[in-house]
Structures are given as C-alpha cells and as structure tokens.
Amino acid sequence: MVHSALEWDDFQEIVHIIDDPRSGAKGVVVVHSTALGPAVGGCRLAPYSSDAALMRDAMRLAREMTYKNALAGLPFGGGKAVLLQPEAPFDRAALFRAVGESLELLEGRYIAVQEVGTDIADMQNIAKRTSYVAGLDRKARRAGGDPSPWTALGVFKAMELAHFHLHGRSLAGARVAVQGVGRVGQILCELLSVAGARLIVADTNHRRAQAIAERFRAQILSADAILSAEADILAPCAVGGVLNCNSIAAIRAPLICGAANSQLAHKEDGEELRARGIAYAPDYVVNAGGMINIAAEHRGASQQMVRRDIDAIAERVIMVFAESDRRSIATNRAADAMAREIIGKPSSWAA
C-alpha cells in the first residue's frame, strides 16, 4: 500500500492518494475544508480517462461538499473520495477493505458515504477497516441508511416551492422532465406522481426508463432529448456536466431543479442560464437531503427533525434566488457566496 498526503491553500486541503496494487484500489481523497467539522462526502467509483481528470473531479466535488454541508447548516466540512474503476474484473470486497485501511490513516478528517458507483455493501466493507464511514445499513447498528429517499424528498420539496415561487401554482398538472431514474430519480417520480405532475423520463438504462414509464404513465425521451423537453421543470438526476454551452441554448423548462451533482459543466454556465431567464436551483443546495439524514443519525435525531431540516432546503433555494436577484449574479454564484460567508471566507468577487 502506498500513501501520500499533501496539504495546501487557505482551506487546509488534503490530497490523500490511495494506491494499493494488490486489490486494485486506486484513487484520491480530497479534503477541501474541515473548518466546520470533519469532511463528509461521497466515495465514488467511476472510470476516468486520466489521473488529471480524476483529480479535477475530486477537487470540484470536494469543494461542493464543503458548500453543501455549510449551507445545509451541518457541522461538517467537505471532502470526496474518487476511486478509479478497475478495467479488469476485481474483488470488490477486497478493494473497499483496502480503501478502508487507507481512510483510517486520515484519522477522521474524512468520513466516507455511499455515492455514484458504490453501494451500502461497499461502505460496509470499508467499515471492516475503519470507523470513518457513515450511511451504513441500519441493521449493522451504525449511523446512516440509504440517503437516496431523503435526497429525493429534498429535491421534491425544493421543486414544489420553487415552482410555486415562479408561477404561484402547485405541481398538479406541471410537466416534469426527469433525466435519470435511478435511486433518487425513481423516488422523485413517485413523489411527483402523487403530487399530480405529468412525467417525462429518460435513462440510458432503457429497461429502467420503461419500468418507470409504465408505473407512472410517463413519456420516455432519449437521454439527450430530455434536456430540451417541453416541460415546466427539468430535473437532472443522472450525471454531472449536463448544463453546458451545447445544452443550455435548447433548454425550454423555466426551472431546473434536480439531484445530480455538478450539473453545470463550468461555473460560467450559471450566467448563461440567468441570461436566458431560466431559474437554476443550485444542485448542492437542492440535493442535501441525504447528508441531512446522515448528520441526524449521527446526532441521534428523530425522523421528524430530518423532515423539518429537509423542508428548510426549499426555503434556502428561495433565499438563493432572492440573493441572485439582489446582486444580479447567477444562482450558483449566489449559493457559493452564501456558503462561503458561513464558512467565514467571503469569496473575492462577493460585494
């Protein structure tokens, strides 16, 4: 096992390299900030074309976790573990045990939770080597449980209030285009269906899209076409980077509110959405429900408190819209500025 740590910059960041040729575990943990508490963030396993691409993603995602946790009022900093998906078949349990060994060396500065490409079983394998992991199956008598239903609930609440804020109407009859009907997207569709919304769905896993379409009488579009669907709300719930210079010009929904992390390919794309008069509810504000649940279980808080804190996500989105209007800046910039104020480091461009 090879480990190395490098710390730098105003956020006391740490980059911790994971490289265990025996199990194939290879990746990086970025601790962006521990100003408000231990860095908590997803541990993802995904293919990358280069080490640089993996590192860029890890740094961006770690920063977003700092902002997400700060704005959600959680006593956590932000960090992320990004692991390279091995090309050859591999022993998954051994890989995540090795990751656990490596995380132990960070002595709690980073706490891993399940994310894209990983599941609760992976987190349980990490837990065999370290206690710095959360969101485990409740049967294991540990903090956590699947965060996805809570993430979906937060997205739904944010959508409901933001749509009302824009049009003065409930979601009944609203057309909602959901890109990605996985763990979060499926539950979101269920909530939207109960609220009387009309669904349009897309998923690269066509059978999954088909199943959802049959269950909720939804229309199916291709993964790309859904971004420009004739809809009242676009909910990206699949992958990052979908709001970019190619897609934004074609978006027809006046509101974007979804679970996917890093929806904007570049920060500047937020300005483009603003220029087009599209209300973008920043991803990390909207998708904080899962983290809120993880934090509550650490505190031993009740589900009632979780629901109350998740309701506050919707109010926060409206505050972000108001701040964006007040300062004539994009909503993602407004959210970043609000988060940085909480962390005590106002951004250089903030007024």
Q: Which is nearer to ligand NAI, 102 or 287 (CB)?
A: 287
Strands (E), 115-197: 175-179
Q: Which is nearer to ligand NAI, 57 or 336 (CB)?
A: 57
Residue 284 · residue 332 · CB < 8 Å: no
- Angstrom distance (rounded) from CA 348 to CA 306: 34
Main-chain dihedrals φ then ψ at residue 109, nearest 5 degrees: -70, -25
Shortest Cβ 220–ligand NAI spacing (Å): 11
Residue 68 among the catalytic residues: no
Shortest Cβ 29–ligand NAI spacing (Å): 17
Q: Which is nearer to ligand NAI, 47 or 346 (CB)?
A: 47
* SS3 category, 143: coil
Could you tell me whether strands 39-46 and 279-280 are parallel, antiparallel, or unpaired per DSSP bridges?
A: unpaired
Shortest Cβ 225–ligand NAI spacing (Å): 10
Contacts 24+ apart (CB under 8 A), 249-252: 249/276, 251/227, 251/276, 251/278, 252/228
CA distances from 134 to 93, 127, 242 (A): 17, 9, 29
Q: Which residues contact 23 (CB under 8 A, 6 or more apart)?
A: 90, 91, 94, 95, 97, 98
Shortest Cβ 187–ligand NAI spacing (Å): 8
Shortest Cβ 211–ligand NAI spacing (Å): 11
Catalytic residue among 26, 68, 80, 157: 80
Give the binding site for ligand NAI (CB under 6 A).
116, 147-148, 151, 179-185, 202-205, 208, 223, 237-239, 259-261, 287, 290
Q: Which is nearer to ligand NAI, 144 or 180 (CB)?
A: 180
Strands (E), the chain: 2-8, 13-20, 25-33, 39-46, 77-84, 110-114, 175-179, 198-202, 219-220, 233-236, 255-256, 279-280
Shortest Cβ 285–ligand NAI spacing (Å): 11
Q: Which is nearer to ligand NAI, 11 or 150 (CB)?
A: 150
CA distances from 285 to 64, 166, 182, 230, 317 (A): 10, 18, 20, 25, 7
Q: Which is nearer to ligand NAI, 241 or 345 (CB)?
A: 241
Which amino acid type is present at position 338?
M
**Chain residue whose CB lies nearest ligand NAI:** 182
- Which residues carry out catalysis? 80
